[in-house]
Amino acid sequence: MAKIGDTVRFLNSTGGGVIRRIEGNIAYVDEDGFETPTLLRECVVVAAAPDMSKVKQVNEFKAPAHTAPAPVATPAPAPKVTAKEEAPAPVEIEETPGGDKLNVVLAFEPENLKRLNDTAFATYLVNDSNYYLYFTYMTRADEARDWTLRYAGMVEPNIQLYIEDIAGTDLPSMDRVAVQCIAFKESKEFPIKTPVSVETRLDTTKFFKLHCFRSNPYFDKEVIALDLVKDDMPMRRMVLDSSRIEEGIKAKKSVDRPRRQPVQKHRESRKPGLLEVDLHISELIDSTAGLSPADMLNLQIDEFRKVMDANLKNKGLKIVFIHGKGEGVLRNALMKELNHRYKGHQVQDASFREYGFGATQVTI
């Protein structure tokens, strides 16, 4: 374990220096007059601090009174070092077979997999390629318009870079993540890569479910991993076209069939005090032409919010949202809304006999 006074280099990034102080698991490394905070586990000792106990013993030693003071030796002049000798040796990058294709992964590793409710999660960016990457990592909440920068920097070829620790309280602001990166090589010619910009949805409810953490070839522990770039192909690109969303909303408003009437006109069809809302996309708009899955999900969430907002004063009203079973994407989105935006209402699975596994009941 590194200690104060040790000379260290950084494990997952360039640079290093002398540890001046340690607070908790953070070491403050003096690098050219500037202190850089770094995790202790990311510091590799290259020269240990001198044993101060021995220095103290030498300073406290006194010559006998009858002996003459020893002559002070004049230190020999330090050897002159040329600028060429001062320059650090270039770092040799060992390229791997197949590494000329970009593979980039964003991963979250829990510190304690058995205590997901209160543990921290370490965030890593994996650069599995022979290229350097300049990159930015950003997040935002669903309801926010602007992004928050969480990290900007460079990662070397074939390196797993630690970015930050996040707590469970950070997750509500991380519904979406975005990574932008530019790839290059140093001191050699290389095939140029197209700059990458990937935005993807992050299901933060998975951070509290043990089965959602899975083994990954880049990690010893189980993690939640997002493939950002795979064999030069950006993954999960989610660029929303506002014009398509507007067309979908207009199509929805133009529908006047009884089963597609505005929310406040839904019939209490099964029994008194019960309101049914079918969120299947085919029930909301006539055509899905030109709409991406993300566009359709946003329309379904908008309909859910309209129903809830219109009935918040109707205490005791039971609302059944029919979302279907599918892959659970819409249901997870509804549960997130109910856990954050619409807290305090009673939530349960709707009657299996009447709706199967595809409906959720909310009691206002």
pLDDT tens figures, 24-38: 778 888 877 778 888
Going from the C-alpha of 49 to that of each of 55, 104, 309, the distances in angstroms are 12, 38, 64
Residues 6+ apart with CB under 8 A from 70: 63
Whole-angstrom Cα distance, residue 178 to residue 200? 6
Give pLDDT tens digits for 292-330. 888 888 899 999 999 999 888 888 889 998 888 777 788
Length in residues, the chain:
364
Q: Measured at the alpha carbon of residue 39, what is the angle toward residues 35 and 42, in degrees to the nearest 5? A: 105
pLDDT at position 258 is: 41
Q: Closest Cα partner for 137 from 166, 109, 117?
A: 166
Report DSSP state, residue 345: S
Q: Environment class of residue 331 by beta-carbon count within 10 Å: exposed (0-12), middle (13-18) or buried (19+)?
A: buried
Going from the C-alpha of 2 to that of each of 18, 161, 201, 301, the distances in angstroms are 10, 20, 39, 51
Does residue 45 contact residue 7 with C-beta atoms inside 8 Å? yes
Find the range with the poorest average confidence among 73-77, 195-199, 235-239, 291-295.
73-77
pLDDT at position 12 is: 72
Average pLDDT over residues 122-126: 95
Taking the CB of residue 104, how many other CB atoms lie within 10 A of it? 25
Q: Closest Cα partner for 198 from 245, 230, 163?
A: 230
Residue 267 has pLDDT above 50, yes or no: no
Segments making up each domain of the chain, as ranges: 1-52, 104-234, 242-363
pLDDT at position 159 is: 92
Whole-angstrom Cα distance, residue 265 to residue 246? 23
Report DSSP state, residue 350: P
353 or 258, higher pLDDT: 353
Q: What are the structure tokens assigned to 137, written together?
A: 């990592």
Give pLDDT tens digits for 37-88. 888 778 888 777 766 554 444 344 444 444 455 454 555 555 554 444 455 5
Q: How confident is the model at residue 175 (pLDDT cuts 50, 70, 90)?
A: very high
Q: What are the structure tokens assigned to 278, written together?
A: 């079918």
Q: How confident is the model at residue 139 (pLDDT cuts 50, 70, 90)?
A: very high
Taking the CB of residue 188, how many other CB atoms lie within 10 A of it? 8
pLDDT at position 78 is: 53
pLDDT at position 74 is: 53
Give the architecture (CATH level 2) of 104-234. Answer: Sandwich (2.60)
pLDDT at position 55 is: 40
pLDDT at position 71 is: 52
Q: Residue 46 CA to chain centroid, in angstroms?
A: 31
CATH of 1-52, one of 3.40.50.720, 3.40.50.1000, 3.40.640.10, 2.30.30.520: 2.30.30.520
| The model's pTM | 0.45
Instruction: Output the CA torsion sign for 94, 95, 96, 99.
Output: positive
Whole-angstrom Cα distance, residue 203 to residue 217? 22
Whole-angstrom Cα distance, residue 131 to residue 137? 18
Q: Residue 117 CA to chain centroid, in angstroms?
A: 17
CB pairs under 8 A, 24+ apart, for 220-225? 221/109, 221/110, 221/113, 222/113, 223/107, 223/108, 223/109, 223/110, 224/107, 224/108, 225/105, 225/106, 225/107, 225/108
Average pLDDT over residues 202-211: 91
Give pLDDT tens digits for 82-108. 444 455 555 567 888 888 999 999 999
CATH code for residues 242-363: 3.30.1370.110
Whole-angstrom Cα distance, residue 14 to residue 27? 16
